[in-house]
Structure 1
Amino acid sequence: MVLVRTRFECTTLLTFSKTNDSKTRLDPVLRSLNVSESFQASLAPANYMRTEKVPDSVPGVVDAAFFPTESGFDLILGKWYPYNSTIYGKKGAPTEDKKWQYEIATRKWTDTGIALRNWSQPNSPRRVSSAMTAWIPSLKKGFLFGGVFASINGTSPNMRELGDHNGLITYDQATNMWTNETTPFGAITDGGLVHVTTATDEVLIQLGGSFERSTRVRPFSEINVYSTKKSKWYTQYLSLDAVVPAPRFSFCTAVKSASDGSSHQIYIMGGLEGSTPLNAKGGPTATSVWVLSIPSFEWAQLQVASATSAADPRGRISPKCQAIGEHYIFYYGGRKVVDYYGTLTCDKKGAAAFLFDINTLTWTDNFTPQEGTYEIPPQVTRLIGGDKNGGSPKKGPTNGWSNPDLEIVMTLKTAATNTTHEPASSIDSSKTNVGAIAGGAVAGVAAVALSLLAAMMLHRCHQRRRSQHPPGREKPLSACGGAQGEGGGPTELDGTGVPPAELPSGMYALELEADRG
C-alpha cells in the first residue's frame, strides 16, 4: 500500500490575493495507494486511494526529504510557504534541527530533534530544500543534493529563494545527524538523483538540472557519480558524438534493473528543455522519454505510444515518477503547460495520474501487480547487447572511463558474481508490495519501497510569472493541476468529498510528501 501525501489544490481566489490572482496551495492530506492490487489510473483517486488529514503541527513544506523508518517515515527540511498557514491554520515553519515522523500503524505524527554538522548558521531564516533526494537502504542513510536556500518570514505571505545550495547533505538515521558537504560542481537544482548498488559500493548518480539561479541548463553528456564508500565525486564524460537528450530540468526519474543485474536503466520523463545553454526557461516542456543505461553510460530515446489520448500526460514541468509492479512507471502531477510561461491547464478532480508500461512502451491505464517481468527496451539492447532479460557484455563506456577509479566503483554485482542470492540491485524496489507514490493536485511525493515502507520522492508544482512584477519581488504562484470543484472552489484532490476509508487488512503502506506550489 502506498501512502500519498497530497499538498496542493488548484484554486482561483484566496482571501489575501487580488480577485484576478490565482495561486497554488497546499492540500493538507495524506493519500494511500495499494500497489498490490490492480487500479485504473484514469479514475478519480477516490476509487483507489485512501485519504487522511495531516495535523496542523506538521509544517506545510515542499521539496522536503522523505526517508523511511522501520514503521513509517521521516519528513525533514523543505521549503515553507507562510501563506498556507493563513489558509489552513497554525502550521509552523520547519526547523533544521527537527524532523517529523509518521507511524503507519497508528497514523500518528510526532517530532524529534536531529543534530547538524557543518552547518554555518543553524536554524537561520535560510532553509535548504531540494527535489533531488535518495535513500540507501543498506546504509540507512538519506541524501539531499543541491537545491536552493529559501527564506522564511513569518509576517509575510511570501517565500523567497535566496540562492542555490552547493552541497550534498547526508542524513544518518542511526545518529539523527545531518552533515553538509560542499560538492565540486557548483550549485545544481531541479535535476535527477538516483541510487545504484554496485559490486563494491553504494552509488549516487546525478544527471541534468539547471544552475546559476535556473538561467543555465546542464548537458546530459556529463554524469556525476558519488561513491559513498570513498565519499568522493566523479564525473563521467560521454564522447563528443554521443547521442544524448536535449538539456532539461524539472524532470523525474525512475530506475529498473536487468533481471541478471548486468545493467540498470534510468528513465527520465517530463521537464523543461532549455532553448539555449543561457536560457534555461525558454524552451518547451519535454514529451520525449529517454533512458540512460548503466554501466555503459549510453542514452536511448524510446519510441512511445499512448493507448488513448487521455492516457498521455503530455508536457509537464516537475512531475514525479516511480517504478511500481514488475514493469510500470507511475507518473504523477506536474505543471501541465507547453512552456514555462504558458497558460496552465488544471488537472480537475485529481486527474493527474498516469501509467507507463515499459514492456510495451505505452502510456496505458490499467495497473496489474505481479504481472510478467521487466524487459529492457529494444532501443537499449541494440546499444548494450544481450536481450530483454539482460546479458549485456558491456562493462563500461565505449570511450573509456573518465577516471580510472570509476571502473571499480561502477562494477556491477551480476547474477554470476552474486553468490549470496541477494537481489542484483536494491534500486529495483518495485518488486515489493511497498512503495510510495506522489500525491497532490500537481504536487506530491513518490517513494521507493524498503521493507514495509517507502522512501518518498517529491513532486512539485510551481507556476512563476515574471511579468508585471519588479525584480526581487516574490513571483506569484499560478493555479495548478489539482482538485477543483465544478464551481471553481477548492475541494479534495479527487473532487468528491468522500471521507477517508480504512485500508483493507493485510496491506502494506507507503508514504508520500509535499511538493512545492
Structure 2
Amino acid sequence: MAHHFRSYVTIRLFCYFISFYLVRICYARSICSIVDQRSAIVGDRLFFSSGNYTFDDDGKTLHNTSSLYWLSLNNEIDVSGPIDMSLLGSSDLPSDALTGGKSPVSGGSAGTFFYDRTSLYAYAGMVGPEADGVNNALWSFNTTDDTWKLVQIQGGKISFGNNSEGVHASDTSSGMSFYTGGWTMAYNGTHNGTVKFQSFNSDTPQWSFETATAGIQGPDILKGAMVYLRKGQSGVLLAFGGYQTAYRGTEFAAWDWDRRPFSDIFVYDIFSNTWYLQQATGDLPSLRTEFCAGVSAAPDDSSFQVTIHGGWDQLRGRAFNDVYVLSIPAFRWIKVDDSNNPDLLGSDSPGRNRLKCDVWNETQLIVSGGMISLGTGGIVNLNEECNKTYPPFKVLDTSTYTWRTNFDPSRQYSVPDTVTAIIGGKSSGGATLKAPSTGWDSQDLETIFSQTMPRDTSSSDPKLSNTPDSTTTPVLSNEVGGLTQGGIAGIAIAAAVVVIAAIVGMLVWFKRKRAKVEKDPIIIPENDWQKPELEAVNNVRHELDNPETRPCEVPGSGGRWELPAPQRYVELQ
C-alpha cells in the first residue's frame, strides 16, 4: 500500500509542476514599453539597451535595467502587443554608466551605438562617475560571440561621454560612425564639430573630432535626426529638425532655442569633410523634435526615401503620430497617409516621441519605444506603467506605408505610389525628379548627389561572415523557423494539455484500481500455504487484538501461526 501511495503522490506533484509550467507559458514576462533606449541593427539582430522600461509582471513604472537585449530578425515576429521575453536574448551591461538616466527626465540621457558589421560601441548617454571619466575607451559588444570588452580608442580624449540627444549615423560597410550636436557638443556655439569614429579595424579603432575646413560649421542641433546615404564618393549625412543651439532663440520665453524648419537640410560630405545647407520643399512637416528617421533606397538607387515618424511639439505641448517622407535627390517632402497605426486604432489618438527607428532590408521601419501621450498642454502619459494597448515595437511597411501587426524578414522594397506620383518612375525606380525644384544651393552638391556608392553585399549575419570574402562555415540556427510568438505558445500549450490529460487519465485509473481493491479484498483460503510467515486461524495476518485477550502460541503441529485476530484485508502480493 505504501508503494502505491508514493506513486500517487509523485504523479500528483508532477501534475502540479506541469500546471505551473502551463501558467508560465500563458503568462510569460513581457516588455510593455521602452523610452530613450539606444538601438541598432547588426547582422540579423536588433539590439537595444539603456533607457527605461516597463514589464507586465512587476507593477513598476518606467525604470532602468542592467541588460543589453536583442531581438532576432530571422523569423516573423508578432508586434501587435507586448514582446514576450522568451523571444529576446540578453547580456548583462558591463558598467552602470550604460544603464541610462531616470525617467521622466526628458531624453533620459539617451545615447547611441556606433556600429559596424560585427560590433556595437556604446557612445554618449553615460551616467554616473564614469560618464566622462574613461578616456580613450568605449565599451564594445562583439556580436560574433556576444561578449563585452573595454576597447581602447586612438585619437585622444574627445569622447563627450556624458553628452546626450545629439544626432548620429553609422555606415556598416566602411565601419564609420558620426555624432554631432546634443547638450554638450555645439552648445551655444561651443565644441562645434563632429565626432568621426572608425572601427573597420576592430583591434585599433580610432576617432577624431572633425571641424569644418570650408563651408558652414555644422547644424548645431539638439533632439533632431541624422541619417547616412550612399551618395557622393564616400557617402553623405543628412541632419534636420530639432532645435538649433548656436544662439539663443526667440520662439519661447522659457526655452533657450528655436525649432529648426524642415526646409533646412544639412548635408555633410564625408569625403571632403564639408557641411552644406540645402533647401527642401513640398509638404513640410510641422516643427518638431524627438522624432526618428530611417532610409530606404529604390531598387535601382535612383531615389532614397527618408521616412520620419512621431515627435514632440514644444509650442503646443503635444506629441505627433504621423508619417512624412523626404525623397532624395529631389529634396521633396511628402505627407504620407499611413494606415493601421496601432496607436490610433482606439478612441484615443495619442502621439509618440522619444522613440527610435531602425530599417530592415529597406522595406520595414522598426519603431521601438517612445513616450506615448494624449492631449495638448496638460498631457497624460499613457505608458509610464505597463499599458498593453500600445505595443513597444511598431513596424511600418515603407513600400505601402501600412503598419503591420507582424515583422516579416522576407519582404522586399519597392518605391510606393505616394512617392512615384511626385518624383516619377515606378515601383522598381526610374525617378525622373533628380534635383531640388529650387535648384542646388551649391554646385558641389549637384556633383555629390550625381554619384551613388554601391550597396554593401556582405552577409547580413555576422556569425556567418565577418567580411565580404569570408568562407566561414555557416552556423545553423537553433531557433524554430517561421513560427510566430503565438504559434510557439500554441504548440507549447497544446503539448502541456496533452501531458496533463495523460496524467489525469493515470490518476483516474489509479484511483479506480485502489477503490476496487478496497471493495473486493482477497481472502486467502484456510490451510493454504502461501509463504513462510506465521498464519492466523483464518490464514490472514493480524496484529495483536485487544490487550485483554491472551495471545495464542504456535501449536506443535500444523502450519506456522501468528496470533489470532479478527479477519482483515490483505495487501496485494
Specify if TM > 0.5.
yes
Map 1:422-501 → 2, pairs under 5 A: 422-423=454-455, 426=456, 433-434=460-461
Output the CA distance in 2 between the equivalents of 1:205 and 1:503. 37
User: Does 1 or 2 have the higher relative contact order (CA < 8 Å, sep 6+)?
Assistant: 1
Alignment-derived partner of residue 353 in structure 1: 393
Corresponding residue of 1:287: 321
Change (3 A) 1:186 1:52: closer
More helix by share: 2
Q: Separation in 1 of the partners of 2:188 and 2:233? A: 39
In the other structure, the counterpart of 1:488 is: none
Whether the 8 Å contact between 2:49 and 2:99 is mirrored in structure 1 is: no
Sort the Cα spacing of 1:219 and 1:70 in 2 relative to 1 into closer, same or farther, 3 A. Answer: closer
Partner residue in 1 for 2:380: 343
2:167 matches 1:139? no
Shift of 1:5: 3.1
> Aligned pair 1:298/2:332, yes or no?
yes
Correspondence list, 1:339-418, <5 A: 342-346=379-383, 348=386, 351-371=391-411, 373-413=412-452
**Structure 1: gaps of 5 or more residues:** 13-21, 83-90, 151-160, 276-281, 436-448, 454-501, 508-517
Instruction: Tell me, in whole angstroms, the C-alpha distance in 1 between the residues paired with 2:301 and 2:219.
Output: 33
Quote the RMSD (CA, aligned, Å).
Answer: 3.6
Shift of 1:128: 2.8
Aligned equivalents of 1:123, 1:357: Cα separation in 2: 36
3-state secondary structure, aligned to 2:445: helix
1:169 aligned residue: 195
Q: CA deviation at 1:318?
A: 1.2
- Read off the aligned partner of 1:170 and give its amino acid letter: K
TM-score (norm 1): 0.67
Q: Is 1:101 the counterpart of 2:143 in the alignment?
A: no
2:270 equivalent to 1:228? yes
1:147 and 1:164 in contact (8 A); partners too: no
CA distance in 2 between counterparts of 1:328 and 1:144 reads 24
Structure 2: stretches of 5+ with no match in the other structure: 1-43, 101-108, 246-254, 468-475, 482-573
1:142-221 to 2 correspondences below 5 Å: 142-149=177-184, 166-173=192-199, 174=201, 176-182=205-211, 184-185=217-218, 187-198=220-231, 200-212=233-245, 215-221=257-263
Instruction: Flag the 1:309–1:246 CA change in 2: closer, same or farther, 3 A.
Output: closer
Label 1:434 to 1:353 Cα distance change in 2 as closer, same or farther (>3 A): farther
Instruction: Give yes or no for the alignment of 1:36 onto 2:74.
Output: yes
Residue 504 of structure 1 pairs with residue 478 of structure 2: yes
Q: State the secondary structure of the residue aligned to 1:381.
A: helix
Partner of residue 52 from structure 1, selected from 57, 67, 91: 91
In structure 2, give the amino acid aligned to 1:115: Q
* Alpha carbons 1:50, 1:503 under 8 Å: kept: no
Report the secondary structure of 1:216's partner residue.
coil
Q: Pick which of 228-237 and 359-368 moved more.
A: 359-368
Q: Distance in 2 between matches of 1:287 and 1:195?
A: 24
Is residue 80 from structure 1 mapped to residue 119 from structure 2 by the alignment?
Answer: no
Shift of 1:388: 1.7
Q: Hey, what's the Cα distance between the residues in 2 that align with 1:322 and 1:432?
A: 18
Secondary structure of 2:222's counterpart equals: coil
Q: Secondary structure at the match of 2:184?
A: strand
CA displacement 1:442-466 (0-9 Å, x = unmatched): xxxxxxx99769xxxxxxxxxxxxx
Code of the residue aligned with 2:380 in structure 1: it is: T
1:270 maps to 310
2:50 maps to 7
Partner of 2:515: none
Between 252-261 and 71-80, the greater mean CA deviation after superposition: 71-80
Equivalent residue pairs, number:
394
Distance verdict in 2 for CA 1:107–1:200, change over 3 Å: closer
How has the CA–CA distance of structure 1 residues 222 and 385 changed in structure 2, closer, same or farther, with 3 Å as cutoff?
same
Summarize deviations over 1:286-320 as a string: whole Å, max 9, x none: 12100000001001010011175677994111111
The residue number in structure 2 matching 1:487 is: none
- Tell me, yes or no, if the aligned pair for 2:355 and 2:367 is still in contact at 8 Å: yes
Which range moved further: 247-256 or 49-58? 49-58
CA distance in 2 between counterparts of 1:503 and 1:163 reads 50
In 2: Cα distance, 1:450 partner to 1:138 partner: 16
Residue 113 and residue 201 in structure 1: after superposition, are their counterparts in 2 closer, same or farther (change >3 A)?
A: closer
Task: Give SS of 1:296's match.
Answer: coil
Which amino acid in the other structure matches residue 75 of structure 2? E
Partner Cα distance (1:222, 1:92) in 2: 33
Shift, 1:50, TM fit:
2.2
Check the 8 A contact 1:77/1:96 in 2, yes or no.
Answer: no
With normalisation by structure 2, the TM-score equals: 0.61
* 8 Å contact from structure 2 (residues 351, 372) kept in 1: yes
Deviations 1:251-297 (A, max 9, x none): 0001001000100000000111343xxxxxx4421121000000010
Verify the 8 A CA contact 1:332 1:354 in the aligned structure 2.
yes
CA distance in 2, matches of 1:379, 1:322: 21
- The one-letter code of the counterpart of 2:193 is G
- Distance across 2 between alignment mates of 1:450 and 1:272: 40
Alpha-carbon distance in structure 2 between the residues aligned to 1:286 and 1:164: 31
Q: Decide whether the 8 Å contact of 2:415 with 2:428 is kept in 1.
A: yes
Letter in 2 for 1:6: S
1:205-226 Cα distance to aligned partner (Å, 9 max, x none) = 1111113476311001011101
SS across alignment from 2:139: strand
Give the Cα separation in 2 of the matches to 1:404 and 1:99: 39
Q: Residue 185 of structure 1: CA displacement?
A: 4.2
Post-superposition offset of 1:390: 0.7
| Deviation per residue, 1:372-428 (Å, 9 max, x gap) | x21222221111100122101222112210111100111143xxxx8xxx43xx5xx
Bigger strand fraction:
1
**Once the two structures are aligned, what percentage of the paired residues are identical?**
25
In 1, the alpha carbon distance for the partners of 2:313 and 2:461 equals 33
Quote the Cα distance in structure 2 between the aligned partners of 1:215 and 1:127.
21
Aligned counterpart, 2:560: none
Tell me how far 1:368 sits from its aligned partner.
1.6
CA, structure 1 residues 352+57, in 2 after alignment: closer, same or farther (shift >3 Å)? Answer: closer
Equivalent in the alignment of 2:545: none
Distance in 2, matches of 1:406 and 1:450, equals 38
